[in-house]
Structure 1
Amino acid sequence: MKSGMVEKEGFAALVLRLRSEGISDLDLLTAVEQTQRSQFVPPPLAEDAYSSRTVPIDCGSFMEGADLAVRLLHRLQVKPGHRVLEIGTGSGFTAAVIARIAERVLTVERYRTLVTAAQSRMDALGLRNVVVRQADGGNGMPGEGTFDRIFVTAAFPSLPRFYAEQLTHGGSMLAPLMDGEACMMVRLTKTGSRFEREDLFPVPFLPIVPHIAAAL
């Protein structure tokens, strides 16, 4: 089967699964459709691009399944005009989808190999409103101004309150929190200098690792 047909069928199946969960955000689904996910997975695993399975990528990292990726972006609620910070670029897929909706995306990753690959994909897609940077995102990105949304895909041991200064008033972030052996994705909405917390669902993310990688 030709790659284009595999892409269309994979996306169509994904949309059906998402709609069964009540996710039918047209802007988000259009952004996902325009961002061919098969271009972000290793070529031997292209047929898994739209599956719910986790896909391994370079540097011992992984892409969450397509269903979980879109479910998280749905909860992030990115709108036109937003400035978004992503901690954990990985393949660059979620940053690319966000960039089709938001005004600007700053995505950071500790592995140079992943940064280089993600930047190449952004260039190929013509996405000029994404900045991909190798950096330690453990404390956010102080000095970069404030963001309307912050999206983190590495788990913190406790509520990351230092992010409050990096969110606009009414801004929100999604971040995984470790709770014993479990990892829960939570949405934190800034009200004044405080966070309102909403627990969403368990996620398979690993604890955050400080500093940029010495190799790779």
Structure 2
Amino acid sequence: MKASSKSSAHTRFIPREEIDGCSAWRFSAMDGSEDAPAVVTETREPVIDGPSAEALHEIREQAHAEGYALGHAAGGQEVRDALEATVRKTAEETAVRMAQLLHNTREHLQKSEEQISRHILDLACDLARQVVRQELQCNTQHLKPVITEALAQLVDDGLPATVRMNPGDLALMKGALLENLGPSAPDFVADNNISPGGCLVESASTGVDASIEKRWLRAIANLGLDAPWNPENADV
């Protein structure tokens, strides 16, 4: 049993990978007649192992991940650039629309203010007309200062003057007018064409229109209005 174990230990097969080099062996002649043979040494190139399948898989996975990351970054940048361009364009268009809207709103407000101001003036004009008419009906002496001022505007040429008045006004005021004006009182003539509250003072060379229509237009002209004394829609 021991001999068998010892013999098997020296007969083990040696793999090629464990042999670094080998040389041919020749037996020389016993008498020394043959030259010693040259020893040929076989040098075995070292075996370089390539990357394993697992390493190749990791390399591919890494390359794929890097490529995906680069592509994702480039694509994300393109998306961000496109989004920023869209947002910028939308903001510019919105700014233009808002500016136009503000401009139109300003114009509308200006027109509205003008219309409101005009309506207020028209309303004030209507109220003033009613007040004046009420005053003309209540105050029978309203024509005294008007006639006095009109007579003062006539040229003092010594010619007689004539005052044309509405018949109703003349009937109420003739006595008081003659009393106040004294000997220089003009001739008073009833004229149905003269509206109540007005008069025409005439002489041979000139005249003064003190009708209520003319005086009304002169009064409201200072307000930039041109409303007639008796408009078609006004209450008489």
Q: Could you state the TM-score of these two structures normalised by the residue count of structure 2?
A: 0.26
In terms of fraction of residues, the more strand-rich structure is 1
**Greater relative CO (CA pairs within 8 A, separation 6+):** 1
